[in-house]
Structure 1
Amino acid sequence: MKNSKFLFILMLVSLALVSCKKTNTDPDGDITTGLHVQDGKYLADKCGNKVVLRGVNIGSVYAVNFGLKELEEIEKTGANTVRIVLERHYKDWSNGGALTPLTEAKIEPVITSCLAKGMIPVLELHDFTGSANVAADLPKATQWWTGAGIKSMLQKYQKSIIINIANEPDNGAASDASYADANTNALKVLRDAGYTCPIMIDAPNWGKDHVFFLYKGQALMDADPLHNLLFSVHAYWPTNGPFGNYSDAKITADFAAMKQENLPIVIGELAIADIQNGLAYNINYRLLMKLCKENEFGYIAWWWGFNNNPGANNQLSMTNNGLYSGLAGSGKAIAVDDANSIKNTAKRTCQ
């Protein structure tokens, strides 16, 4: 009788432990066995080490062979992440530039190449940049992410990737409430579809409005059943320009305000200038890099540059031939030379 009672109690304790564990799990297992946001505060790898993202953006859909050559060059910087520009249709250069639906078969080699090089792929959908109606457009983005072929391929790599729902999906038209609601709804769709990886959300107003996360960041984190979100600010904050002037003091204060929220903040686009109507308004990018280091915020530079499609290069290309050896000026400073450069501050995740 005593043995039966002991076994019964042991069974209850075991069930309780399993139940407790499930509060930290996803349908496929414990999310901490892969890349994850720890306690809603910072990105961590499967070993529990804090991960501070350091890398570059690459326009894969504009590159020949989706930028596989460029990834080889980016690896030389020591970057631990690459943010990959995707669109639902791309120009197929092997077919005269014909507009072609983007399939999982085209994306997967980019993912596997990044992972083989120790770089975390951040996959972003670029179609809805500057949307005037985020409530209508984010469902279109989630529809693409949850399409059968794309979803089944990406979910093979859930423990190693980050999904950025949509790049800058607001042109300033959305209120804080409507932007938060649209992203909350998108999160639900993605989680219900079985996505458990970290999900990145861009700030509103072309990604620039960091203040949104001060007011709504924690509510968004709480709305995610996995508390597995990253908040991305695109710091197009020029010293003076047509859409605002950002002194060093203001930028420093803005970083302090973000840090105080204790949320996983990433500067998802860090550039040397804000380009408006073809004019470059200079950004104190070195200060941004310094503050990212001091506050343990990730940064991802915009953008690398093209080797096989040099016509796609522009004023913000870090290397105009897509090669590491082609880094020069500010591009080389961000990648290599500055004390807070990618090469000097990036740490790879445990394997």
Structure 2
Amino acid sequence: MKRRLATIAAVLITLTAATLTVVNPAWAATGLRISGRNIVEANGSTFVMRGINHMHTWYAGQTQSFADIKAAGANTVRVVLSGGRWTANTAADVSNVIALCKASRLICVLENHDTTGYGEDGAAYSLDQAADYWIGLKSVLTGQENYVVINIGNEPIGNTNAGQWTAATVAAIQKMRTNGFEHLLMIDAPNWGQDWQYTMRDNAQTVLDADVRDNTVLSIHMYAVFNTAQSIRSYLDVFQNNNWPLVIGEFGWQFASGEVDDTTLMAEAQARGIGYLGWSWAGNTDPILDMTDDFDAASLTTWGQRIVNGPNGLKATSREATIFGGVQPSTPGSPSPSQSSASPSPSTSPSQPAGACTATYAVTGQWQGGFQGDVKVTAGGAAIRNWTVTWTFPNGQTVNNAWGATVTGSGSTVTARNAAWNGALAAGASTNFGFLGSWTGANGIPTPTCTAS
């Protein structure tokens, strides 16, 4: 999609597929890997991607975006790179990107954008050339298997001869493995990523079998082809029924009736325990697909509000990778707020009269020196228009940044006031805001109080 949205005439068809069982040789797993249809970490914890695409290759100076994307609730960032179709991202730059991802506690999906629309766009590179780019970066990628996923080529085939995708993809996977890459590999569909001719769907097993490491996840990009709940569910059903690993590597929002049904997409991804990565943080020539106004994290667009704060969005469903200290839910597809084993229990504000509000404070992830907090605000027996939550940290903790509320501090006392979009709550209704904080020595749970008007 991105800088060029392909015009596609899609025909809905009934999807059927037979379940195949393939046993691959055992191997010593390194870092992120596939288990069944799930992505798991080295310790076996299931990891469900909830993330945002960042157009790094065209906006290399926007390094604050990594921390901002984390603060928006993401656990993954998909980073656009180029090997020469645009200004090439060097080994030093890619090494810095990985460091930025790790500093922000984000799993880093690195993608080569040069392949976009190959066969239809004369400027596009082949998947074989993309593999060569990764081989040239091997020195900075080896050893990062816990943190980095390699998306070999973005939308690697256009709408011209989409059938070439299968052989080209098999060859690229095998070239990566022959050259010693142990990383989880991500493979985009043809048809500018949208697979409207179902080439990836119908050849998925062939591609997965080509990986001697059995460590490949397929990626569908959902835009105009997937503009109904039926089309989304039907496509995802085939992969689920065949136990094939899949992520939704790009998608936009339903700003018009012919666009992707993002509400269904996020709900289905959550119900099925599959990852999604929205396009994109900022920088599109088509501003409809920007989640922020000119990379300003404090100025979310309509699309940004939907994916960050909406039902089944990042704030509601994202869980940090355990490699960074996060605690994953035991059941994929139905995450619930979880805490580090070192964290105290959540604290709830005292009961309030009707028309007032209560607040519940919880630590959802903790690591040495830092933590992520979540506060749930619930209206009392009558509707409220605005709310304010206050608490006093017992151990001198500090809030570094927050989302979903305006947060200020005075000594150990913290005051959080609703954002413009989440102050009005019906009787009994709830909203959440979150923050990243720092601690030393101890990270005791404060007791919040909530007032409303």
Give the TM-score taking structure 1 as reference length.
0.78
Q: Deviations over 1:255-307 (max 9, x none)?
A: 22232121111110011259xxxx9953221111111111112110000015x
Q: 2:273 aligns with which of 296, 302, 306?
A: 296
Question: In 2 relative to 1, CA 215–144 (structure 1 residues): closer, same or farther, beyond 3 Å?
Answer: same
2:238 to 257, 266, 277: 257
Q: Go from structure 1 to structure 2 and tell me whether the alpha carbon gap of 1:313 and 1:71 turns closer, same or farther (over 3 Å shift).
A: farther
Distance 2:162 2:60 in 1: 39
Q: 1 CA distance for matches of 2:87 and 2:132?
A: 18
Aligned counterpart for 1:24 among listed residues 26, 47, 50? 26
Which residue of 2 is the match for residue 17 of structure 1?
A: none
Q: Using the alignment, how far apart are the partners of 1:350 and 1:265 within structure 2?
A: 21
Contact 1:303–1:317, Cα closer than 8 Å, also in 2: yes
Measure, in 2, the Cα distance between the counterparts of 1:260 and 1:212. 17
Question: Which of 38, 63, 68 does residue 68 from structure 1 map onto?
Answer: 63
Matched, 1:157 2:130: no
1:232 corresponds, among 214, 219, 235, to: 219
Contact 1:207 1:233 in 2 (8 A): yes
The aligned amino acid for 1:85 is V
Q: 1:30-69 to 2 correspondence within 5 Å?
A: 30-31=28-29, 33-39=30-36, 41-65=37-61, 67-69=62-64
Amino acid at match of 1:82: V
Instruction: Pick one of 97, 109, 133 that aligns with 1:122.
Output: 109
Aligned sequence identity (%): 30
Q: CA deviation at 1:313?
A: 7.0
1:343 aligns to 2:315 (yes or no) = yes
Contact 1:208/1:236 (8 A) holds in 2? yes
Contact 1:313 1:320 in 2 (8 A): no
CA distance in 1, matches of 2:97, 2:141: 12
Alpha-carbon distance in structure 2 between the residues aligned to 1:345 and 1:201: 24
Give, in angstroms, the shift of residue 117 of structure 1: 1.9
Equivalents in 2 of 1:330, 1:339: separation in Å?
A: 13
2:57 pairs with 1:80: no
Q: Which amino acid aligns with 1:224?
A: D
Q: Map residues 325-340 of structure 1 onto 2, 5 A cutoff.
A: 325-336=298-309, 338-340=310-312
- Map 1:300-315; keep pairs closer than 5 Å: 300-305=277-282, 314-315=287-288
Contact 2:75 2:319 in 1 (8 A): yes
Q: 3-state DSSP class of the match of 1:219?
A: helix
Report deviation, 1:223.
Answer: 1.3
Quote the offset at 1:221 in angstroms: 1.3
Q: Secondary structure at the match of 2:48?
A: coil
One-letter code aligned to 1:59: M
3-state SS of the aligned residue for 1:142? Answer: helix
* Residue equivalent to 2:135: 146
Q: How far apart, in 2, do the equivalents of 1:253 and 1:133 lie? A: 27
Give the structure with the higher percent strand: 2
- Point out where structure 2 has 5 or more consecutive residues left out of the alignment: 1-23, 324-453
Q: How does 1:173-322 map to 2 (within 5 A)?
A: 173-176=160-163, 178-209=164-195, 211-237=198-224, 246-272=227-253, 281-305=258-282, 314-322=287-295
Counterpart secondary structure, 2:186: strand
Q: Structure 1: give runs of 5+ residues left out of the alignment.
A: 1-21, 91-98, 240-245
Offset, 1:204: 1.0
- 3-state DSSP class of the match of 2:53? strand
Shift of 1:136: 7.5
Displaced runs of 4 or more, over 4 A: 133-136
Does the CA-based 8 Å contact 1:158-1:195 persist in structure 2?
Answer: no
Decide which of 149, 153, 158 is 1:166's aligned counterpart.
153
| Rounded Cα–Cα distance in structure 1 between residues aligned with 2:175 and 2:238 | 31
Verify the 8 A CA contact 1:36 1:46 in the aligned structure 2. yes
SS of the residue corresponding to residue 325 of structure 1 reads strand
Equivalent residues of 2:120, 2:159 under 8 A apart = no
Distance (whole Å) between structure 2 residues aligned to residue 116 and residue 75 of structure 1 = 10
CA contact (8 A) 2:149 2:184 kept: yes
Q: Distance in 2 between matches of 1:159 and 1:296?
A: 20
> What amino acid is the match of 1:200?
M
Please give the alpha-carbon distance, in whole angstroms, between the structure 1 residues aligned to 2:238 and 2:132: 35
Larger-Rg structure: 2
CA distance in 2, matches of 1:153, 1:202: 23
What is the deviation of 1:175? 4.3
What's the RMSD between the two structures over aligned residues?
Answer: 2.5
For the residues of structure 2 that align with 1:180 and 1:117, how far apart are their CA atoms? 36
Whole-Å separation in 2 of the counterparts to 1:50 and 1:281? 34
| Contact 2:170-2:207 at 8 Å conserved across structures | yes
What TM-score do the two structures reach when normalised by structure 2?
0.61
**Paired residues, what number?**
297
Matched, 1:112 2:99: yes
Partner-residue secondary structure (3-state), 2:292? coil
CA distance in 1, matches of 2:141, 2:296: 28
CA contact 1:198–1:228 (8 Å) conserved in 2: yes
Q: Displacement, 1:103?
A: 0.8
In structure 1, the residue matched to 2:451 is none
- The answer on whether the counterparts of 2:145 and 2:182 sit within 8 Å (CA) in structure 1 is yes
Specify the code of the residue in structure 2 equivalent to 1:343: K
The verdict on how the C-alpha distance between 1:71 and 1:312 changes in structure 2, with shifts beyond 3 A counting, is: farther
Per the alignment, residue 297 of structure 2 pairs with: 324
Paired with 1:186 and 1:64, the residues of 2 have a C-alpha distance of: 27
